[in-house]
Amino acid sequence: MYTDLGAEGCKPTAESEKRAKDSDYMGDVEGGDSECKSLPPYRIFMSYADMRSNLAVQLPGKEPASIQSYPFGSDVSESGFPYVSGKKLEWRAETVGGKTLPFALIYRVKSTSPDGSAGAGKEREYLQVVKVSGAAACLIGSVPATGNASANERAREVADTTARSATCPK
């Protein structure tokens, strides 16, 4: 199952619209937030600032939790500007008693190799694999997609074999 991460599937949140309306001019608004179509009971948000974007999952009764990672290191100084580059969010789900229960999602990010690294300045793509359950959402895998014709299949394999048993940090 897929949901749309493009303009048709993600709409600015009321807070982002208010911030834009209250600013003197668009240059005062540094990014914003959109809510994207998702599978119940989860809500998906995309935040963006500068050239970066980030996804967050909101679990029932909890605050949205960021699920972005930096493919080349622990922070933006090592990873350039990672951003959500795919227009679709793939949901891995099973049907139990006629009800669809998502257990993982997969989305595409791009990032530029940091200066001073092998391949500095090169843009690379990754498929991020995220566990979703009623209790937690967390990144459980990152599959290199640049030049990897089997990246989609590998990301699905990681989701299908790891997501149900993976433990998310608290």
More reliable by pLDDT, 147 or 47: 147
Query: How much is the average pLDDT of 64-77?
Result: 52
Q: What is the pLDDT of residue 115?
A: 60
Residue 157 has pLDDT above 90, yes or no: yes
pTM for the whole structure: 0.79
Sign of the alpha-carbon torsion through 21, 27, 30, 35: positive
Per-residue model confidence (pLDDT) at position 155: 96
